[in-house]
Amino acid sequence: MTEQKDTKQEIIITGFGGQGIVLAGSILGEAVVLGDHRQSTLVQSYGPEARGGACSAEVVISDKSIHYPYVRHPDILVCMSQSGFEKFIGQLNPEGTLLIDQDLVKPRGIARTFFSIPSTRMAEELGRVMMANIIMLGFFTAITKAVSVDAVRNAVVNSVPKGTEEMNTTAFNKGFDYGLAVLKGREKKATGKAGA
């Protein structure tokens, strides 16, 4: 099991309807409970429009019982739409982690570091734009270490439509590898600065 600094983490995944935001939250929760044997809750919300409207999934992860399932100040904010970013960025914990789809979100007006991945473009390159959420989950897993990689990979396989397991596993691995490369790049940069 991965080493946890805090026993509780609050996460918001946001985007628009049709991106599989709630599915991503559901997979994450399943991975936490079934794979890492911890506690998790999921609260989902949609705008009045089904497709294209605002959509979010609030996930709470903890080692102890969770008495309040709503997220007030996320420790991790995952944005796959500009409107989602604008709605939730003000709530992000000052030390929180921000992940964005770099083609869909322009993080204007913030003075904080963030992690970005072209998840929608990568999904298009795989031939299935619907897998951007799975790529983002892989990226999330690598960057945050909030949940173990095997737990999420297994939850992906159990949650996607039959016959698409292999394709979705490839998408997850692409996002995960991209995240590891981003972390390695930052580490090299930091080491370079320290050595200068």
- Residues forming beta bridges with residue 60, ordered by sequence position: 10, 41
How high is the pLDDT of residue 53? 75
- Residues forming beta bridges with residue 42, ordered by sequence position: 59
Residue 140 to residue 137: CA distance in whole angstroms? 5
Q: What is the pLDDT of residues 93-145, one digit of tens each?
A: 999 999 999 999 999 888 889 999 999 999 999 999 999 999 999 999 999 99
Contact, 78 vs 25, CB < 8 A?
no
Better pLDDT: 3 or 81 = 81
How high is the pLDDT of residue 4? 43
Q: Which amino acid is at 129?
A: V
How high is the pLDDT of residue 108? 84
Residue 101 to residue 84: CA distance in whole angstroms? 11
How high is the pLDDT of residue 192? 81
> What number of other Cβ atoms are within 10 A of residue 30's Cβ?
20
8-195 belongs to CATH 3.40.930.10? no
- Residues forming beta bridges with residue 16, ordered by sequence position: 54
3-state SS assignment for residue 16: strand
